[in-house]
Amino acid sequence: MKEKVVFFDIDGTLLDHDKKVPASTRQTLDDLREAGHHVAIATGRAPFMFKDLREELGIYSFVSFNGQYVVFEGEVIYKNPLKTETLEKVLEFSEETKHPLVFMNHETMMASESNHPYIEESMGSLKFPHPEVNPSFFNEAEIYQTLLFCKTGEEEPYKKYKDLNFIRWHELATDILPTGGSKAEGIKKLVERLKFDREDIYAFGDELNDLEMIKYAGTGVAMGNANPKLKEIADYITRPVDDNGIQYAVQQLGLLSSKAEKI
């Protein structure tokens, strides 16, 4: 079978609901590599948030920050930071609306205020503590993603900033990205290095920040536990992450055989 590149989201895809990699998934990643395919991660997380996972799984190519920071075999090949002047305006507005922010670069993250319950709850869902406080961090480093902490719908007034895009990932948290930024755009940068055709791209995901990636991939796979909107546009829907979903899809799609089965 012609070699492919297979991208995996992290939360709800590589990691189960206990934030662990199922044994079947770990074996499947090894099998894909042994079959000659390229395995990569495509996530909304910052690189420092999944460093241990990359090392554990032996994956050195990734799309992070929903496409804003791309690494191929350990080399940074694409960066798309948010504009400092826009972040300054967002911070001023967030202080008026009482919504805290977290600014993120590839190495760390800093919060605009301390001990906020929305930050603690949503970051806690990812097994991360409340970040240290440095509201001017965006003036000191390139920021690839900012987190806005507010209830569903309360992000709407922030959409007046036309160079920003907003993607909700928790009932109390929304990603802020540059307009046009997405996992799909990051994947394009990485695939350019591999010189693969679009039909050679497989992508696995479960949430709304995976929409563009699933649409763009030659074969987009939604996990059984995926958001219904993602399932609507996926080429294939597999079993849930905690029911050997990745292993099942890889087998059914024929990625480990010379002839793919029909789906």
pLDDT digits (tens, 9 = 90+) for 15-34: 999 999 999 999 999 999 99
pLDDT of residue 263: 32
Q: Which residues contact 74 (CB under 8 A, 6 or more apart)?
A: 60
Asked whether 257 and 244 are in contact (CB, 8 A), the reply is: no
Does the reported pTM lie above 0.85? Answer: yes
- Fold entry, domain 5-79+181-252: Rossmann fold (3.40.50)
Rounded CA-CA distance 121/116 in Å is 9
Look up residue 81 and give its DSSP letter.
Answer: P
Is pLDDT above 90 for 259?
Answer: no
Q: pLDDT per residue over 25-72, tens digit each?
A: 999 999 999 999 999 999 999 999 999 999 999 999 999 999 999 999
Phi-psi region of 251 (alpha: psi -120 to 50; beta: other; left: phi over 0): alpha
Q: Which two tokens stand for residue 85?
A: 């002047």
CA separation, residue 153 to residues 11, 15, 43, 70, 94 (Å): 23, 28, 24, 30, 14
Range list of H helices, the chain: 23-34, 51-57, 84-97, 117-124, 183-194, 211-216, 228-233, 245-252
If you average pLDDT over residues 143-170, what whole number do you get? 96
Domain boundaries, the chain: 5-79+181-252, 84-178
pLDDT of residue 257: 73
Is pLDDT above 70 for 241?
Answer: yes
Output 116 or 259, whichever has higher pLDDT: 116
Task: Supply the CATH classification number for the domain 84-178.
Answer: 3.30.1240.10
Q: Is 9 a catalytic residue?
A: yes
Rounded CA-CA distance 61/238 in Å is 24
Asked whether 223 and 31 are in contact (CB, 8 A), the reply is: no
